[in-house]
Structure formats: structure tokens, C-alpha cells
């Protein structure tokens, strides 16, 4: 169905009250977005910060009376309202709209990531993230993919922790990794990963999909995790238990300013830790420390 959209520019302080008034006028959904090119990266735990200039967008049924709705909004909202911007949104499958604008992404001279095959000698990892994170265009994902493309995968067992769309583990499988296990607490991420594995004909490389990573025997040879700094810091000991001695580690989702705390957390059980940065984000790679001979 078509929708009537109302967009209003406001401040972070005024946005919650404006949202409440919009919902009281019959809005079916209200969303926030940046209205002043001021990106928010990783907020502190438990906080939901807003941009200093916030665009508040409300969706109404297409037949909604604009004049009556605006009058009711003025009566409900305390203080002056910003200028309204109305438009009709045609009927579309909105969750699929990203496909129209996705561009093919090339990683080194190794492979492409796109939603359809790229006519090129290099292989294409066919990817539809669904509702999960991971299309390849974020610096954290790109940093991990560059690392994956440079590895040798023969006979190695990979654990993709926080797999999102499955892009990292599937890229490794594309390059010959014979065993990949996907872990994510979000069932929609696991669903997207399963569909992407089927899309690429890589199901035979997948050893499982799970919402938690139990200690395996034998442990993994490689672990990749592109999540956030806080959980990465908390998971350092668990990751050490999941990896075989000498196993390779690749972490991202880390702001450049957070690298010191991650390095400190992983130094006791990992060696040769290396930091690579791009656009304010970082990737940390290294190896599980070899256990001393007994």
C-alpha cells in the first residue's frame, strides 16, 4: 500500500515529545535520522543518543487528511512546530529497496560482493543481507574481507562469531575453507546466512548455525568477529577457549580510539596482535598463544 509521509526537522531534546504527539495523531510508525551530517558511532551501553539535528519521519495511511492531522498535531504538541514536509510514498517492498542501489564491491584482486553475478573473471559472493548487518560496504566488514582474502584456507575450521548476513564466513568458504560454523544471537541473521549459503552453493561447507558458541573439540582454527568493542572485550577469554593454539583471530567493529582497550584484553592469550585502520575504524588480527609443552 502507499503511505503518506510527514517529515519534521527538530532537535535531539524535542524529538521524543514530537514522536509522542505524532503517534497520538494516528501515525503508524515514527523514525529518526540524522538531519545535519553528524554521525553517531558506538553509543555508551544503555544509551540511545540522538543527533543534534534530528529528522523525525511519521508514516500515515495514504488517505489521511493532512489539514486535520496537522491541526491535531499543533494542538497536542507544546510549543511551535517546524515546517512540515509531506509526500506520498508509492507502494513498494521497502525492505528490498536497498537492492536497487547496491553497487558491486571489489576486494583486492580476489572477489566481488554483489546481489547478482558480476561479469568478471573474479568470483562473486552473492549477498542479500535480509534484515542482518553485513553488505561489505562498511569499513569494518571491508577490513575483515581484505584479511580473509589474504588467508590460506585449506583444511581450516572457521568460526564466524556474530555472523550477521554471513558475509565473512561465506567469503572464507568461497576461497576454500571447508568447515564454517555461524554464530549469532539474532535468528534473523542466521536465517539470512542460511539463505546466502544456499544462494552461493556453499551449504556443504557449513557445519552449523547456532545462537551460542560452545567449546568445541577440536577447537576452531580461525575465528572472525565483527561486532562491537564492548562485547569483544568481554569475550576475550571465551574466544581464547574457542581457538586452537596457534589459531588465527580477526576482530573488527572497533573504533580506532578503542584499539588500546581491545589489545589489552587480548594480550594475555594472543600474540602478534596487529592493528589495521580505515575511516576511523580498526581491525585487530593475531594468533592464539601456543600452549607451553608439558
Tens of pLDDT, residue by residue over 183-214, are 999 888 898 899 889 988 999 999 999 998 87
By CB atoms closer than 10 A (0-12, 13-18, 19+), residue 216 is middle
Supply the pTM of this predicted model. 0.65
Chain centroid to Cα 175, Å, comes to 22
Cα–Cα separations (whole angstroms), residue 178 to 12, 57, 134? 49, 46, 22
CA–CA distance, 252 with 224 (Å, rounded to integer): 8
Q: Residue 251: beta bridge partners?
A: 225, 284
Look at residue 273 and tell me whether its pLDDT is greater than 90: yes
The confidence score (pLDDT) of residue 91 equals 63
Q: Of 37-46, 253-262, 275-284, which range is least confident?
A: 37-46
98-288 classified as CATH 3.40.50.150: yes
The C-alpha cell at 226 is 565483527
Question: Would you call 11 helix, strand, or coil by DSSP?
Answer: strand
Of 251, 240, 252, whose CA–CA distance to 288 is shortest? Answer: 240
pLDDT given for residue 248 in this prediction = 98
What confidence score (pLDDT) does residue 46 get?
Answer: 45
Q: Break the chain into its structural domains and give their ranges.
A: 3-91, 98-288
Residue 237's pLDDT is 96
Question: How far apart (Å, rounded) are the C-alpha atoms in residues 236 and 268?
Answer: 9
Average pLDDT over residues 96-105: 55
Mean pLDDT rounded to a whole number for the chain: 84
The pLDDT of residue 25: 94
Q: Tell me the CATH architecture of domain 3-91.
A: 2-Layer Sandwich (3.30)
Q: How confident is the model at residue 125 (pLDDT cuts 50, 70, 90)?
A: confident
pLDDT over threshold 60, residue 258: yes
Beta-sheet strands, E only, within 1-129: 3-11, 29-34, 53-61, 85-89, 105-107, 111-114, 124-126
pLDDT in tens, 6-65: 999 998 888 889 999 999 999 988 888 876 655 544 444 444 556 678 889 999 999 999
| β-sheet bridge partners, residue 249 | 223, 286
Mean pLDDT is highest, among 69-73, 78-82, 165-169, for: 69-73
CA dihedral 207, 212, 214, 218 (to 10 degrees): 30
Alpha helix segments (H runs only) across 122-174: 139-149, 167-174
d(CA 197, CA 182): 11
Q: 103 pLDDT band (50/70/90 cuts)?
A: low
Packing angle of the helix pair 66-76, 15-24 (nearest 10 deg) = 130
Q: Is the pLDDT of residue 132 over 70?
A: no
Amino acid at each position: 500500500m502507499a503511505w503518506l509521509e510527514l517529515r519534521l526537522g527538530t532537535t535531539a531534546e524535542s524529538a521524543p515529545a514530537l514522536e509522542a504527539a505524532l503517534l497520538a495523531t494516528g501515525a503508524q510508525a515514527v523514525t529518526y535520522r540524522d538531519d545535519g551530517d553528524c554521525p553517531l558511532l558506538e553509543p555508551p551501553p544503555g544509551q540511545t543518543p540522538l543527533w543534534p539535528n534530528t529528522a523525525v519521519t511519521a508514516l500515515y495511511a495514504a488517505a489521511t487528511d493532512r489539514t486535520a492531522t496537522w491541526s491535531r498535531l499543533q494542538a497536542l504538541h507544546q510549543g511551535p512546530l517546524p515546517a512540515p514536509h509531506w509526500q506520498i510514498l508509492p507502494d513498494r517492498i521497502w525492505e528490498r529497496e536497498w537492492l536497487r542501489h547496491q553497487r558491486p564491491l571489489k576486494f583486492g584482486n580476489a572477489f566481488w560482493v554483489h546481489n547478482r553475478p558480476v561479469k568478471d573473471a573474479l568470483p562473486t559472493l552473492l549477498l542479500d543481507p535480509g534484515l542482518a548487518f553485513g553488505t561489505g560496504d562498511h569499513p569494518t566488514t571491508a577490513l575483515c574481507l581484505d584479511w580473509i582474502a589474504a588467508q590460506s584456507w585449506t583444511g581450516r575450521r572457521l568460526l564466524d562469531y556474530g555472523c550477521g548476513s554471513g558475509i565473512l564466513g561465506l567469503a572464507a568458504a568461497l576461497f576454500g575453507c571447508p568447515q564454517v560454523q555461524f554464530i549469532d544471537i539474532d535468528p534473523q541473521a542466521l536465517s539470512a546466512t542460511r539463505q546466502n549459503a544456499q544462494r552461493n552453493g556453499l551449504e556443504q561447507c557449513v557445519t552449523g548455525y547456532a545462537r551460542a558458541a560452545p567449546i568445541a573439540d577440536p577447537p576452531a582454527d580461525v575465528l572472525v568477529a565483527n561486532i562491537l568493542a564492548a562485547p569483544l572485550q568481554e569475550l576475550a577469554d571465551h574466544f581464547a577457549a574457542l581457538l586452537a593454539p596457534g589459531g588465527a583471530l580477526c576482530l573488527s567493529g572497533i573504533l580506532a580510539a578503542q584499539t588500546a582497550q581491545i589489545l589489552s584484553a587480548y594480550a594475555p592469550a594472543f600474540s602478534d596482535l596487529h592493528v589495521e585502520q580505515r575511516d576511523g575504524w580498526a581491525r585487530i588480527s593475531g594468533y592464539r598463544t601456543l600452549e607451553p609443552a608439558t
